[in-house]
Structure 1
Amino acid sequence: MSTRVKTGVKLTIDGKNVTAREGETILEVARREGIHIPALCHISETAAWGACRLCLVEIEGIQKLQAACTTWVAEGMVAKTDTPRVRARRESYLKMYLSDHNAYCEAPCSHACPTHIDIPAYMAALAAGDAAGAAAIVRTELPFPGILGRICPRYCEPVCRRAGVDEAIAICDLHRALADHAPAGAAASGSHSPVLQPGKSTGRRVAVIGAGPAGLSAAWFLVACGHQVTIYDADGEPGGLLRYAVPEFRLPLKVLERELRPLWDAGVRFFGDSP
């Protein structure tokens, strides 16, 4: 059944003749007629206030652009919703909003994380009992969650939105928990594939100088891209400061060895005591 009324206010929107009820706004009529007008602040069944200015439209006979959500229809009105002038003004308002963007579209924890780990995704996997899947999400950005969960400075937690309810989520401790419950040697989410799966061979060989956190991470992602990797380091064992500077009580050696094992299983070679 048509939503149009037999008697009412007749107007034109984008060249389409429509009939509206007296007291309706251009935005309401446009939406009913399938004409898209963007709006951020408009909520149905609440009073319109035209704050976002993204629903601006051109009205014939009126020089200034009008907010569709607060402009009532009138007999013979001609409205245009998608002209170059309208698009340019909407774009300017949107750029203004984004210029002061403070992670409202992203989770602030991921925004604050130096490696931008998808924290909400791994938390959701962990909450569902999928520790291996959660660890796999972390490893897409940072290969060693078991190390991360023990030495990370926790930039994510001070901005956690949960703190506005009670207290911040223990994001760092959960990195440690997921790694301990789904160790690096375990497969992800029911798969029998290794944690680090070498990519299709490129035939290229890469030498990584230094077996600290940066070099080990580089080797991980190079292997995933299909390169043959050899790591050289002046120290006798890999790990750099992770092995030789972080105290054992903070990062146990067995955890470090466990986290690095996928590199060796994937064919990465290490040459220590290299001058």
Structure 2
Amino acid sequence: MNGEAAGRHPDEVPAGEKTVARCIVVGAYAADSDSGGGAGAPIRIRDNAARLSEAVSLALAIGVEVVHSEAYTLKVLRSATYIGTGRIDDLKQKVADMAVTLVIFDTTLTPSQQRNLERALDAKVLDRTGLILEIFGERARTREGQLQVDYAHLMYQKSRLVRSWTHLERQRGSLGFIGGPGETQIEADRRQLQERISRIAKELETVRRTRGLHRGRRKRTQTPVVALVGYTNAGKSTLFNRLSGAHVFAKDLLFATLDPTAR
């Protein structure tokens, strides 16, 4: 061990080195989730272990270090925190002991559940939707793909926009016209988000019209069209490369390729 490494604080990151978030993945599944209908006991399509394994793979896809994962079935879903206080206390201890900065829940959390869990655990919390949006944000390469991800992310943010700091309660005046006095900070934030959403929606429509024109040209040439469709990480890009001689990015990773490709 050299002197510099020996004298470095454990939490200190040397210049040029990327900080990797330490993460816990939690598979807290409702008792009746992933079950079929019909008479008798519900038929489980995938067990908790299989679902947790996929969730860990999704977490690894955004480059975090998964230091712990756990799965269990919940008989009761708590409206405020999704999981009960006992589970929270146990998870909080693990977060502290393992120096965890991110906790991923393999489920859909409400905005209030996410905020309450972040406060209780003293760590950043992502639900499955947020995690997938993070992956898509890193993988999108085409203009259309980036616009679609931005649109989805803004819609997700909009649902989670809350009065999270005290100055949001302050009124800037008494009149209520757009952008002027009387508009609270939370209203301004929502308005700005909506403006960005509307702008991206218009850009997407332009891109889709262009794609439609290209599709029309292919139809007029009567060229046979073959589509490869399958679950993420099923090998579509690898097969596509073999068939077409292309060099589309292919890797044993969930959502490694996000944008559609044509040859």
What TM-score results when the alignment is normalised by the length of structure 2? Answer: 0.23
TM (norm. structure 1) is 0.22
The structure whose Rg is larger is 1
